[in-house]
Structure 1
């Protein structure tokens, strides 16, 4: 069961990830139908005894096997293009934060409020408690309000990095000298984990990302507390 779950997408925590899950299931059903049809036709070819040595053409079947794949591609392409458009859409953000990739940790800047920033390092295995996740938990989590449009601006201080949270369908490159942005919305509270998805050096696998999604009221209190400290 654990092996089967590891092959599936993570539980969605944003509307875009829900759409990606729907498209995944849509494409998977089409592939399953194609596999069953082709398998059935191949089995009949292997085991039947029909032969007709004067057969030179079959215009009707040729038309059918040209139109069917074209229609199948349209059924895949239309929702795919719609989803690509939605993933690139930038809405009016309620909160904007900036994250900077370093070798090998992340920095976060909350400039919408009384400006403050902090670094986020992975917690070493020998310092972890029993309720923490190895190679995923960090000392300072990026805290964000749910049901709010978030704009994330990403850059890097040294080499290429990639800020990725699979449950939010967020993956954006952190490039030195360039500021990229992406928009997303959290639709539930919780902890969401990700890792740098760009091979950025020896400790590439030791710079995780942890998002803590909380209500707007608690987020306001957290902002005030961080500003005072």
Structure 2
């Protein structure tokens, strides 16, 4: 689908003045939820059913492999103690033990059936794309993402804050260097509503979606293989040039969520983050009107405040 970007929006994405887009995409008061935390272990909070399914499956398999490990380790110690040369000087000469062979055949089969019975419905739920409330096309580029709101006729590019395309001449004159954290970059992050902790995660423009709605992402790439990933949503899909793949999610909590390109895609792979802001339906509609006007040049009706 042809991207409907106005000339001014296209220039803004590459020029030194992306302030309008940033202001339109900033939703104040959102909690930062989907972000890595130093010193923590485990998954990010699950805010979709898909992510919760993955967490539950991981826990089930963790229990199974722990029990197997404990059983096998205990069996090894028992054999070492019970059948060592000192306690068993005359080794047995049998070569078969039918009950044991039946057990070690049926046992793993039952375990695999249990895992399959639990995991296959989860896989089908991920792969069966439901009817979308919002459809967004994500295009991976070296090294930024382009997004098209398919049903609304506009699109924009999304760069990491601090990427070369987001640098202004004033920032460069002040000694700032692209992709390096310094005082200028910290100020740049704070001006966009982020903190120092969101360095390498925050983008100058974010994907904005409504809470509680089914979002279908169409994922592809323009040059090499990329991957669109948001851990808190439980989604990851490779973007392959010439192919169009889909994923879906339905976030049940408002907030700011981060992801990264998850396929090694070249020199600046580490500087290709993803930012998604999940907002209320009212905030989404307000943002959508501004985005249509800015990115596609679609004028929006004026509203007159009532007394």
Cα distance, 1:77 vs. partner? 1.7
Q: Which residue of 1 aligns with 2:48?
A: 14
Q: Which residue of 2 aligns with 1:40?
A: 74
TM-score where L is the length of structure 1:
0.92
Q: Which residue of 2 aligns with 1:138?
A: 203
Residues 1:190 and 2:228 aligned together: no
Q: Which residue of 1 aligns with 2:113?
A: 74
Cα distance, 1:111 vs. partner? 2.9
Aligned residues: 226
Q: Deviations over 1:106-141 (max 9, x none)?
A: 11111322x221111101232333724110001101
Q: Which moved more, 1:151-160 or 1:123-132?
A: 123-132
Give the Cα separation in 2 of the matches to 1:149 and 1:101: 22
* 1:53–1:181 distance in 2 versus 1, CA, 3 Å: closer
Give the Cα separation in 2 of the matches to 1:222 and 1:82: 36
Q: Give unpaired runs (5+ residues) of structure 2.
A: 1-36, 163-180, 295-307
4+ residue runs over 6 A deviation: none
Cα distance, 1:177 vs. partner? 2.1
Cα distance, 1:52 vs. partner? 4.8
Q: Which residue of 2 aligns with 1:29?
A: 63
TM-score where L is the length of structure 2:
0.70
RMSD between aligned alpha carbons? 1.8
Residues 1:105 and 2:166 aligned together: no
Superposition map of 1:98-177 within 5 A: 98-113=137-152, 115-124=153-162, 125=181, 126=185, 127-129=188-190, 131-132=195-196, 133-177=198-242
Which of 206, 214, 223 is the matching residue for 2:288? 223
Give the 3-state SS of the residue equivalent to 1:128 in structure 2. helix
Q: Deviations over 1:57-96 (max 9, x none)?
A: 3212221122111111111122122211111011011011
Give the Cα separation in 2 of the matches to 1:76 and 1:34: 14
Give the 3-state SS of the residue equivalent to 1:197 in structure 2. coil
Q: Deviations over 1:160-211 (max 9, x none)?
A: 2111111111111112222222121111111111111111110011010010
Structure with higher Rg: it is 2
Q: Which residue of 1 aligns with 2:303?
A: none
Q: Which residue of 1 aligns with 2:278?
A: 213
Give the Cα separation in 1 of the matches to 2:100 and 2:144: 59
Which of 202, 215, 221 is the matching residue for 2:267? 202
* 1:178–1:61 distance in 2 versus 1, CA, 3 Å: closer
Q: Deviations over 1:10-56 (max 9, x none)?
A: 21111011001000000110001101111111111112234652444
Give the Cα separation in 2 of the matches to 1:121 and 1:53: 70
Give the Cα separation in 2 of the matches to 1:99 and 1:218: 22
